[in-house]
Structure 1
Amino acid sequence: MQAYLKANQRRLAPWLFLAPGALFFVVYVIAPIFQSMAISFYDWDGLGEAVWIGLDNYVELVDDEAFYVSLKNNVLWLALYMLAVPAGLLIAIFLNQTVWGIRAYKSLFFFPFVISQVVVGLMFSWFYAPNFGLLYAIIEAITGQGVAILAEERFVTYGIIAAGLWPQIAYVMILYLTGLNNVAPDQIEAARLDGAKGWKMLWYVILPQLRPATFIAVVVTVIGALRSFDLVSIMTTGGPFGSSRVLSFYMYEQALSEYGYRMGYGAAIAVVLFAIMMVFITGFIWKMWRDEKDH
């Protein structure tokens, strides 16, 4: 055994370093996924005896209006959250310039990333607040009547998404700044000699080299949009009248809040959310792999 380890230590060393992280990933990520799938087939309050009910939880979802409201809001989150990718790219390109005061600009744009979602939620709640909120005062000054964003069913989801986009754009910006540091200068110079500039330089020279950063940015943005629990919980707790619920918050309401304690039903919602997430991420991975293969 000792002779085998000595002869293969270079081949085994990476696996030994990966083993602790892989173990934690299996125990705390992979295993809970399969446990949630198993629980979704039971009627269980989290404490008593679990009763097997098969697909009844999923059948109930089909006729659950609150589930469809949450699903619609998640689709809206996903569509609008993707704005973080081009916005983060444009800001990263701006901050990658060597101009006076660029460090101060970087600090300002980096700030949203380092504060917690709780603080972001509170700040935007005050920003939208009736009577004393800045946005309310601006709308009132322009139109003569203020709008309570978080109390209006038509606007509440858009208001929460705007709050979430602020730190998400900062996160994407950091990913692209890192990617821009790895762009090959010789390719930039060659493109300039060929007369490329502006959008042509960006589309044909810079963006192809930013594919790894784009992949990570899209994946984390999709995940962030679909697991949008904290801001909803802090800013509206799903209101008004459940109109700002998303799937992750509805799952919490059903499984762990005083309104539910239905662990099986909450697990069924979690499985649906996980399936949606995997469809988007798998599709994007497939597209990236196919593009790399073509090149």
Structure 2
Amino acid sequence: MTAPNPAPATRSWYKRNEIAVTPWLFLAPAMLFFAFYVIWPIYQSIMISFYDWDGLGDATFIGMGNYVELMDDGAFEVSLWNNLKWLLFYLLAIPGGLFIALFLNQTVTGIRLYKSLFFFPFVISQVVVGLVFSWFYLPNEGLLNGVLGLVGLGPINVLGDPDLATYGIIAAGLWPQTAYCMILYLTGLNAVDPEQIEAGRLDNAKGWKMLWYIIIPQLKPATFIAFVVTIIGALRSFDLISIMTNGGPFGQTRVLSFYMFEKALSEYGFRMGYGAAIAVILFLIMLVFIAYFLWSMWREEKGR
């Protein structure tokens, strides 16, 4: 004969709240790691930005002094404008990835080979991408100037021209970023409802109408991820600049992440507080974009 269940009043607090508490126990390790490795460093960076500190000696509190200095810093202005250029042109990776994914989603002879070729830039290191494009842009031996010479155009030094260097690096970054967006959209296309496609065909929807009214609305989750990842990639563009120009020529290819590194770790004196102030500005810019997209997705889900 089994023993009767204990009365509710004698059960432990955990047993009474087991269903509500158990998910939080599973989430607790991830939340602790996130707090320790993300939230705490962000808080420290914000606090350091209010100090004049070389990273080793005593820190001197200067309040908003670093931020006031940023307002009159010409190099910071150049870096900020370059980040805006990266944001604008990097977004080309999203439609580029979509159209490549639409092509690779077809049944074509040799499609596996095409997929491998388009996927290849995603798996190679940014350092390798930077080196490949540095060779591609060489003034005399580079492939770009070799092609221009065939059509009678003179050689151009892309990475040596202050007006062209930033765009040359952005083009290098678009290569792997487009491949990443392509992968996201290929995954999204596998989840497209075939019944909606068939219904669209019955309503005589073809070409752009089919794409705009039926396919793209079903790719909104992939588009959201592509936007977030592309914006983050544009704002933290450091590797390619370090490899291809090291901020030159004449500092015209700096972005905020690279300028932060220069101020905090490269220059004589190691201005950690000033570098932290640049990092905080970069974080706020990134936060605005991500918060907007999260709010848009939440509003859309709530409206369903």
> Same fold per TM (> 0.5)?
yes
Q: Which moved more, 1:251-260 or 1:280-289?
A: 280-289
Q: What amino acid is aligned across from residue 125 of structure 1 in structure 2? A: S
> CA 1:265–1:60 in structure 2 vs 1: closer, same or farther (change >3 Å)?
same
Aligned residues: 295
Is the partner of 1:17 in helix, strand or coil? helix
> CA 1:2–1:27 in structure 2 vs 1: closer, same or farther (change >3 Å)?
farther
**TM-score between both structures, scaled by the size of structure 1:** 0.95
Pick the aligned partner of 1:25 from 23, 34, 59.
34
Give the structure 2 partner of residue 206 of structure 1. 215
**Structure 1 CA distance for aligned equivalents of residues 285 and 172 of structure 2:** 23
Give the structure 2 partner of residue 120 of structure 1. 129
Matched, 1:190 2:210: no
**Contact 1:85 1:169 (8 Å CA) reproduced:** yes
> CA 1:14–1:67 in structure 2 vs 1: closer, same or farther (change >3 Å)?
same
Give the structure 2 partner of residue 41 of structure 1. 50
Is the partner of 1:150 in helix, strand or coil? coil
**Structure 2 CA distance for aligned equivalents of residues 158 and 2 of structure 1:** 67
Q: Map Cα deviations across residues 19-62 of structure 1 (whole Å, 9 max, x no partner).
A: 22222111111111111000000000000111000000000000
Q: Mind listing any 5+ residue stretches in structure 2 that lack a counterpart? A: 1-9
Matched, 1:85 2:94: yes
**Structure 1 CA distance for aligned equivalents of residues 217 and 44 of structure 2:** 40
**Contact 1:140 1:147 (8 Å CA) reproduced:** no
Q: What amino acid is aligned across from residue 54 of structure 2 in structure 1? A: D
Give the structure 1 partner of residue 293 of structure 2. 284
Matched, 1:255 2:264: yes
Pick the aligned partner of 1:237 from 239, 246, 251.
246
**Contact 1:253 1:259 (8 Å CA) reproduced:** no
**Structure 1 CA distance for aligned equivalents of residues 302 and 14 of structure 2:** 36
**Contact 1:89 1:172 (8 Å CA) reproduced:** yes
Give the structure 2 partner of residue 160 of structure 1. 169
> CA 1:183–1:4 in structure 2 vs 1: closer, same or farther (change >3 Å)?
farther
Deviation of the 1:131 alpha carbon: 1.3
Matched, 1:96 2:95: no
Pick the aligned partner of 2:81 from 52, 56, 72.
72
Q: What amino acid is aligned across from residue 34 of structure 1 in structure 2? A: Y
**Structure 1 CA distance for aligned equivalents of residues 115 and 127 of structure 2:** 23
> CA 1:114–1:9 in structure 2 vs 1: closer, same or farther (change >3 Å)?
farther
**Structure 2 CA distance for aligned equivalents of residues 276 and 26 of structure 1:** 21
Deviation of the 1:289 alpha carbon: 2.9
Q: What amino acid is aligned across from residue 128 of structure 2 in structure 1? A: V
CA-based RMSD of the aligned residues comes to: 1.7
Larger radius of gyration: 2
Give the structure 1 partner of residue 189 of structure 2. 180
**Structure 2 CA distance for aligned equivalents of residues 79 and 4 of structure 1:** 54
- Determine what percentage of the aligned residue pairs are the same residue: 69
